[in-house]
A and B are shown apart, each in its own frame.
Chain A
Amino acid sequence: MAAKELTTPLTAEVVEGLHAGDEVAITGVIYQARDAAHKRLVALIEAGEPLPFELEGAVVYYMGPSPAKPGNVIGSAGPTTSGRMDAYAPLLMKHGLKGMIGKGLRTPEVKQAMVDNKAVYFAATGGAGALLAQRIVGNEVVAYPELGAEAVAKLEVKDFPAIVVNDCHGADLYEEGRKKYEKSA
């Protein structure tokens, strides 16, 4: 199957055209943010203060890289478990977030927020950090450098491979894929 080419930022129309199981190749800017950064972003929204990047149409990547070797753009850069960001994701979607890249299961609340706000959840291959780093061509920390691997960074990606797990129509590849191959005892 040929991957669908996506360019960020994402629009509601593009998100509506994506379905669970679609393989995609993402090009453009995505934002690296994980646990500690999410906590701070949500605190800013709740305080009515501006965010360090434009959330409208944005795609966040749940990732904390290993340190870059001299001469490299970034260290290994695979996804972390998304479930830890579930507490924060619905509010970010309400404020314009359109895409999330990570790995692992989301809560019913997050999936509902994707339907309500026309957003999409992609899985990248967990543990393929060396491979995925090769698709990251630019890397600039835009907030919280003191958090080290947990800082917010603006990443320029080219043909970043991912697969749609949860679409804005309520489908879930984790559930459907598993059912397809489940063998009863």
Chain B
Amino acid sequence: MGNVRDLDVADVTAAVKKLCMEANYDLPGDVYQALKDGKEAEESPVGKAVFDQLIENADIARTDRVPICQDTGFAVFFVNIGQDVHFTGGTFKDAMDEGVRQGYGDGYLRKSVAEQPAHERKNTKDNTPAIVHTSIVPGDKVEISMMAKGGGAENMSSLNMLKPSQGWQGMVDAVVATVSKAGSNPCPPIVVGVGIGGTIEMCTLLAKKALLREIGSVHPDARIAGMEKELLEKVNALGIGPQGLGGTQTALAVFIEEMPCHIASMPMAVNIQCHAQRHKHVVL
């Protein structure tokens, strides 16, 4: 058994603050490259012009330290906590929220969280609460991955409780239908996260986690890599194109995460992310 490592939650707050700001100013290299590749591959002249705007926009945001998009998102975190870590100086969740509060405040990021969703919809004014998904892992490190999740793309996502008899074709149809219905709304070119299996909450979580993958990375399981390739081709055949103005580049990538499911079930979730695929991670 390893020695217990004390970690001051102030370090968590400082790291989260930095993640929130940098994720919103610096489009990750993989996404930036995908925009450049997309421009080359795009057949529509209007679509190419959209890619040009998005590349220039990313350059301005990085240089001027301003948000890539005014919707600086709901702050979503996946945190792998080494089981030998002992947090000191406060609670872990409060430290995460404080990091978001400071990052969105000091970083001039938009506060886009409303409380009492069905009634008052009052802005919480500091973009809290943070959405935090934790996993306990071996070791004494804390790995924090952050995603700034905009509302427009999130709204176009779907949960599909399919019948096992529908098989893979049923999943293909559901993914294509979700992207087709979304059309121009989620700011294509999009990234599509697909979660297969588990239960309703697990498959949606897998779909979100899939969005953390680097664009251009190939799934280590060749079977799943093939499924991703097939879905990407089918989605791009829809013709939606950049910003939905018509074109061949509707999605930059499709990523799948899979796990076993109940013998009676075949859950599948589609989580859509806009081209501003803002994600960043840090190890403490």
Contacts and interface: CB of A to CB of B under 8 A. Distances in A.
A76 B70 contact: yes
B27 to A, nearest CB: 10
Given A173-B245, A174-B245, A105 B69 contact: no
A75 B108 contact: yes
Interface residues of B, number: 50
Contacts of B275: 127
What interface size band does chain A fall in? 35 or more
A148 B43 CA distance: 40
Contact of B243 (A68, A103, A133, A182): A103
B184 A75 contact: no
A129 interface: yes
Nearest to B64: A130
Nearest to A74: B70
Contacts, number: 164
B20 to A, nearest CB: 12
A163 interface: yes
B68 to A, nearest CB: 6
A127 B274 contact: yes
Contacts of B234: 185
Given A126-B187, A127-B274, A69 B70 contact: no
B109 interface: yes
Interface in B12-45: 43-45
Task: Describe A's contact surface by its main secondary structure.
Answer: loop
B158 to A, nearest CB: 16
B75 to A, nearest CB: 14
B152 interface: yes
B109 A66 contact: yes
B52 to A, nearest CB: 10
Contacts of A80: 71, 152
Interface of A: 1, 21, 63-69, 72, 75-78, 80-81, 83, 103-105, 123, 125-131, 133-134, 148-149, 161, 163, 165, 173-174, 176-185
The 4 A-B pairs of least Cβ separation, nearest first, read A177-B246, A182-B239, A181-B239, A126-B187
Interface of B: 43-46, 50, 53-54, 56-58, 60-61, 64-72, 108-112, 123, 125, 151-152, 155, 183-185, 187, 234, 237-241, 243-248, 274-276
